[in-house]
Structure 1
Amino acid sequence: MGVRCGVKKVEIVHTPVLLNESLEYLSPLGESFEKDAFMIDSTLGEGGHSFNFLSKYPSLSITGVDADAQIQGRARERLAPFGERMSFYNGWFNEFYADYPLERHPDLILFDLGISV
């Protein structure tokens, strides 16, 4: 399965199982996020959740965390059309949160704990 991102085709291997439920239940009362809303995708992977959250909520920005540099490279390509609304941290989420600046409170933190086979 491929997804078009600008002019580059990125091959996607993993599709989030509870994607629609995540979009519905993790948004504020099913409405849009307020201006300058911020989310942390603690298990970025190929960026499936982030892609869909950014597509649905234009005022949302996301930091994606993943320890696998190769998989994060796929996510970077896939999420490139969102520009500065998407930032990346290459490392384990426990390291990310240990150094997290307390002055920036996220509106949403997502952990998609599963395994891709």
Structure 2
Amino acid sequence: MTREFELDLHSEFLRADLFLNMGQPAEAARIMRPVVEAEPHNEAALELLARAYYGSAQLAPAEESLARLVDRAPSNGWARRALARTLERQSRGSEAVVHHRMADALGAA
């Protein structure tokens, strides 16, 4: 990967973060999809994409992104809590319990 492309990905990440903070999560998700495709192992990019999906009530993609993040970083308490809440929003509370318990054990808010 060239340095120029890396800077473009970083710029897109920052742009998506700005859109999310401005209350436009759907636009942030649109920007982040190609970033995560280009850097599928980047946990920060995956987390921002999951936050954008969750914030725009795109619950199935949020769940998929959060499950990937939990697989990559099982001790990420924030990801566990967010996955639990995403499952709850889909009326899947029984599946959420294990993630809430893990988030509690990890000290996540």
Specify if TM > 0.5.
no
Choose between structure 1 and 2 for higher RCO, CA contacts under 8 A separated by at least 6 residues: 1
Query: Which one has the largest radius of gyration?
Result: 2
Q: Looking at secondary structure, tell me which structure has more helix per residue.
A: 2
